[in-house]
Structure 1
């Protein structure tokens, strides 16, 4: 059985395991689920109405029966109805996911555009003051939480320039590209800077290892230009750890940057998960986490397949 087939076979097993963990975890949260779902309106319910709602959502059944019914619906493509949004869970997820996907792509572009050149520059100036400056930048970037960066950006824009990031109703890129980018650029910078710090450190370390290899010294001894040695020979072989880190980070971003989406009032998948937790929207939380887990596994699979493309010496198992 080939490597790709084996990985695909494990997908359903992992998703079932994730679904069980989420199913049990949210039901272990103390409190009345009906009150959490309905908020202040729950106080207006009569005892008969509360019993009817509990039966309607299946909460009067034991956990095994609830999970079995939800699993059967999953196989039919039915993730249930969201209490908070009043429509099918899958519709809510697909409606919010494009924003999170675009935000993840923009954040990755910013991170790689900043982190890769910075890491290469630091490696080629190893031990110099410029290398130290880049390492300090990377350390500060990794030590500062994204929500702090987001709040600082909002503060600087409002106090220093008398402006605020564009908020309000989200505009898809295909409807209004300029407004869309104005809404996402600062959240993307917030997430991208933190990730750029990690890319800088990883790419610097990988480049230092590669620059000491024999084939790099041979290329230099043959009179190859320094730029060619660095960007054509050394960098491609230093990209594997960067690709690994990028794949993991992109998977996390697809899960929704909850705090950043909250700070910038973005209606993305992270906000959906947060609202589902606060409102005890069981079906929405289970469906969202399952969707996030599936995306994460797909990204990791693509990263593994990219290894052999970057380095022909790597061969994925075929037995």
Structure 2
């Protein structure tokens, strides 16, 4: 409980630091948000009209005043008004976030569902041909960018099987579960396969360390079957580094896989942030980064708490 309270206390401090960094960084990007928002029509406005728009969105004030007003709004769950969508920033984020969350979860299922068994398989066949094959697969997977994997999947499906990925208007899961999965299965495979290589290498390395421990040899000497030794005794103790890696990767996925969302035309959080940066939509970028940072911290906290469930010998917040 002490550890949990200490982590919760640090949340506001970290969020404050993130807010300052993103506020300054987005304003250092060259360009004017009003001009970017209006595009070619910006030249039709008079200077007075531009000033009126800047005053409406609060962009005519100094940086310090803008930051203070924005921070006060954040404390009341008001992240500002998006100049791109003309709606509250929080509403825009919550509209895009479910897709990104679903894509992240499906990608993690793919990565862990493939990578963990492969890692265990390779560790139990150390220095054999199958182990070498798995290690080569992991090495290739880690060195191949996710967008390359996505383009290869699209090419193979279209050129080899005449199948194109389902794109167009996104279908929510609540409206059509099969249609929703059909749209997300290829993006999830693209992101999941990229992460599978890392899971495979980490789980193999962790299993090799655990299989050489005394308690594993003791279990074998007591007549435990090979399957029981691997899955009941060794694997639970090898999961901690896998959980750590999965937590970090899941946090990144919640930030939005921009390239994959662009390739498969998915209106997710990452694609929205990229468009907001191009449009100089200060409020939307600031709110999105703050939202992603909060989710990242929550995921890391849940990962730390999962350590205790995996290994009761670990005590958080007490002694080091």
Partner residue in 1 for 2:283: 283
* Equivalent residue, structure 1, for 2:25: 25
Deviation at 1:83, TM superposition (A): 1.1
Equivalent-residue separation in structure 2 for 1:87 and 1:55 (angstroms): 17
In the other structure, the counterpart of 1:119 is: 119
- Where do 1:269-308 residues align within 5 Å? 269-308=269-308
Q: How does 1:172-211 map to 2 (within 5 A)?
A: 172-211=172-211
> What residue in structure 2 maps to residue 252 of structure 1?
252
- Secondary structure of the 1:223 match is coil
Q: Which residue of 2 aligns with 1:45?
A: 45
Q: Do structure 1's residue 226 and structure 2's residue 197 form an aligned pair?
A: no
Deviates more, 1:81-90 or 1:193-202: 81-90
Residue in 1 aligned with 2:164? 164
Rounded Cα–Cα distance in structure 2 between residues aligned with 1:43 and 1:263: 33
Deviation for aligned residue 1:33: 2.5
SS across alignment from 2:79: coil
* CA distance in 1 between partners of 2:317 and 2:58 (Å): 45
Q: Which residue does the alignment assign to 2:14?
A: 14
Instruction: Find the counterpart in structure 2 of residue 129 from structure 1.
Output: 129
- Show structure 1 runs of 5+ residues with no match: none
* Distance across 1 between alignment mates of 2:170 and 2:199: 30
Q: Which moved more, 1:24-33 or 1:225-234?
A: 24-33
What is the TM-score when the length of structure 1 is the normalising length? 0.98
Could you tell me how far apart the structure 2 residues matched to 1:86 and 1:33 are?
Answer: 13
SS at match of 2:220: helix
Other-structure match for 2:108: 108
* Deviation for aligned residue 1:162: 1.3
Report the alpha carbon displacement of residue 37 of structure 1 after superposing the two structures with TM.
2.2
Task: Determine the C-alpha separation between the residues in 1 that align with 2:55 and 2:200.
Answer: 54
1:90-117 per-residue CA deviation (whole Å, 9 max, x = no partner) reads 1111111110111011000000010000
Report the 3-state secondary structure (helix = DSSP H, G, I; strand = E; otherwise coil) of the residue aligned with 1:316: coil
Shift of 1:78: 0.9
Provide the rounded CA distance (Å) in 1 between the counterparts of 2:302 and 2:251: 11
Distance 1:309 1:16 in 2: 31
Cα distance in 1 for residues equivalent to 2:58 and 2:18:
21
- Post-superposition shift, 1:318? 3.8
TM-score using structure 2 length:
0.98
> Stretches of 4+ moved more than 6 A in 1?
none
Structure 1 stretch 149-158 or stretch 34-43: which is displaced more?
Answer: 34-43
Looking at structure 2, the residues matched to 308 and 77 of structure 1 have their Cα atoms a distance apart, in angstroms, of: 33
CA RMSD of aligned residues (A): 1.0
Gaps of 5+ in 2: none
In structure 2, how many angstroms separate the alpha carbons of the residues matched to 1:44 and 1:271?
29
Deviations 1:61-99 (A, max 9, x none): 111000000011111211111111111111111111110
Deviations 1:220-264 (CA, angstroms, capped at 9, x unpaired): 111110000000000000000000000000111111111101110
* Residue 43 (structure 1) shift: 1.7
Specify the alignment match of 1:242 in structure 2. 242
Residues 250-303 of structure 1: CA distance to partner in whole angstroms, max 9, x if unpaired? 111111111101110001111111111010000111111100000000000000
